[in-house]
Structure 1
Amino acid sequence: MKCRDIEIHAIAYLDGKLARNEAVAVERHLAGCSACAERLHGFSDVSSRLDGWEPVQPSPSFNARLERRILAEPATSAGWRERISFWFQMHPSGRPALAGALLGMMLFAVVLARYNPSAPFPLTPGSEGTQRVGTVSDGNDELALYRDLPVLEELDLLSNFEVLQEFETTTQ
């Protein structure tokens, strides 16, 4: 047994709660290690002094005086800051959890702001605020395909299936 093992088993050894083979290992270590033997003797000394100590009995009127003092205190409700600070003191993982929740909400807000399914068609340069409605050609007119190419290259437009359904209705 090593010195750090004695630290773990010292109180159980003094209380006689170790298994026989562990108690023998502790005794063998104590015979060869004076530092651990001295430390265990200190534990034993403190334990024996505590066993001889009689607890102090409060005066008979202690409970009545305490109750009067408690009732004399004005009742105050804890504000929201005290309630939150109590939660953070009791739960050390509260700060990282709160930071993660805030980060998640911010990310969700950014994604929600970037994705707008009701966004209008992109404006072509020089259209002066008018919306360009694309036309889908039957493939015979190559110029029409090139004219519609900027609309088809717009990735946001392609990912918006509602807008693509509008294309189908205009061709029919």
Structure 2
Amino acid sequence: MKCTEVQDRLSAYYDGELFDESQAAMARHLAGCESCAAELAGFKDVTRAVNRMPHPQVPPAVWEGLTAQLVANESSDSVKPQPASDQQTNRYWWTSSRQLALAASVLLVLGFGYWMNRSMDHPHSNNHANSADQEHSAEFVATMDHYLRQLPDDPDAAEQFLLNKYNGRTVNADSAVKLVGYRPAVSEGLPEGYSLASTSVLKMPCCTCVKAVCKRLDGSTLVLFEHDDEKTEWFGQRQSNMAICGDKECCLVDLDSSIAATWKRGSRSLTAVGVRDVDEVNTLVSWLDKKVGTAL
């Protein structure tokens, strides 16, 4: 696919409105095109910004003024002779409908204007909230960066650091269900060549997550986080790209000596860190996706 074709369909792709073949073709292009992937990231940024916007409230005085005007119009119409023909009746209802439509339009414009004025009148409160969010996000990214740098050389210390930071509790699968409301994906087993070393529940900024420490046959560590939503912000400004792994769209992040991968699994997301390559992501996605029906 050409970039022009992809960008024309980005909105439909983001909303999941394309047929399966078109959706897959788009994903393949996005995995290899940084420009189009950046455009897609813009859609996600806009969605997050809109979701954080407050709902505008129209001042009571505006409602009262419009109500009084409509009542005055109705009183004025009531002293007029009743319509004597179908043509006059249609004209009467057409006039009333136009008045109602005009009132609705005025309310919409005033509501938007009122919200804009409030935003401009109180820039410091918005800036303060944005600043707090940025500081919170920066702290989380710094915490994860420390964890990821420590993980390859001293996985035990890295795990203890994260447990201490986010009030982690080491649990079994049954206990995890009581804490997070679902059975962790790894409770149904891991692919051949992997073993489960531990599971824990962490109260991370995004949500209460399940963290599973997995070991390969050579003793090296791979960690799986199961969480409520996609959080590629964990990795700050590290380079990332989209790819199809198994049959899932994944966000792959460069972690210098390894990669991280995030993909949707049912209503939640999985993030794997310490992954060696895309082939390993394919293995994990394919295996865990087979278990989605029994683990949710």
TM superposition score category, shorter chain reference: 0.3 to 0.5
| TM-score (normalizing by structure 1) | 0.37
| TM-score (normalizing by structure 2) | 0.22
Greater strand share, structure number = 2
Q: Look at both structures and tell me which one has the larger radius of gyration over its CA atoms.
A: 1
Flag the structure with more relative contact order, 1 or 2, with Cα contacts below 8 A and sequence separation at least 6. Answer: 2
